[in-house]
Structures are given as structure tokens and as C-alpha cells.
Amino acid sequence: MYLFVDTISNPCYLAVFDESRTIIDGLFWEGQRKEFDTLIETIDALLKKNNISYKQLSGICSITGPGSFTGTRVTTLVMNAIAYAFETRLYPLSVGDFFHLQKSPLPWITPITKKEVLLWTEDEPNNYILTELSWLEDGEYSSVTTVDLNMPKSTIRKAKNYAAVIAWITLDHPVIRMQSIYAKEPNITLKAQHAIF
């Protein structure tokens, strides 16, 4: 059995699938921006419902970004911890891979902030730009989540064909550790600590 994890989309999605790439069970949940609080318990519930233990997982496929700093970091941390504890193989996917595997019509977008999106104009999973929503041209866009384009002549196509993605995931080259893919450099500032003696 394999576990598929998507915390980039809203709602988030989990599935278990077998070696023939058949989805055994899947569920959507409102986990975005709550990954730390909900991801592990949601995985536990899905596995328990299907009488699957962590040791029975042959691999974990997870979308590792680009996405929010906290969300992608928490997800990859949990996947890496499960892989380490149970010697499970890891198969990372980027958001671009997710669009590509389901053959979503171009252009593709995914929101990063309230005013910014990542934009793909070619079927190249790792070739995207960060742009402001206000700079997008009118048209139809594929997206993994709801995007308020605020443009009357534009529409969003949902890109959530999980069965197609799972059917085409490459399971030949597992990685030892997943790496988060960030849309922007994390904005972390370290403040000097002053000791009082």
C-alpha cells in the first residue's frame, strides 16, 4: 500500500492506493494552515479505517511545494519522520508535477499570498514565475485551490484529478529525505537576545 498526501490544495487530500495504482480510500479535510494540528491524526484515521499499519506502507507520495513555508515544512517533516520510523520509501512531487501528471490545461496557477500566485505558461513542472494577481491577463486558469482572480472575464478550472496523478506517479526513484520547495525565500528574522546579568 502507498499513501498519497496533498496539503497544498484546499481542501487537503489523503489517499491510500495499491501497487496497481487503484485508490482504496481517500478523504478531503480542511487542513490548510492547520497541518501541524491535523495532518498526523488524519493520516492515522485513514490508515485505521482501512486496517493498514504504517509498517504496511510501501511508500509515501507527497506534494512538497512550492507552497507556504509552514505548510510545506510541516508536511515534509511528518513524511520524513514516518519514513525514518518505519523505513518507508518517499516519492516527492512538486505542484508543477501535480498539474503535469493530470494533464491540466495551461496556464496553471497556485496562490502564494492574497496578492501573489505562481504561474506556469508551459508544460514544464519546474518552470514557473511568481507574479501578482493584478498582472494576470483575462482567461481560464487551472488551479489546485480556489483563487479569487477579481477579474470578471477569467475563470478557474479545478485541477484535482487524483486518480490520474496516482496512475502516472513514478515509483522507480525513491528519495531518502523529502525537501520542501518554497515559493519565496522564508522571511525569518533572528532577533539578538540580550542576556541580563
Digit-coded pLDDT (tens) for 143-166:
988 888 888 888 999 999 999 999
Domain that holds residue 16: 2-168
What digits encode the pLDDT tens for the residues 64-94?
A: 999 877 778 889 999 999 999 999 999 999 9
pTM of the model: 0.90
Beta carbons of 47 and 87 less than 8 angstroms apart = no
Tell me, yes or no, whether 175 lies in a domain.
Answer: no
135 Cβ neighbours under 8 A, 6+ residues apart: none
Question: What's the total number of domains in the chain?
Answer: 1
The answer to whether position 91 is within a domain reads: yes
Q: Report the share of the chain in percent with pLDDT over 70.
A: 92
Asked if residue 13 belongs to a domain, the reply is yes
- Strand order from edge to edge, sheet including 116-120: 129-132, 116-120, 108-111, 140-143, 155-158
CATH no. for residue 148?
3.30.420.40
Answer whether residue 58 is part of any domain: yes
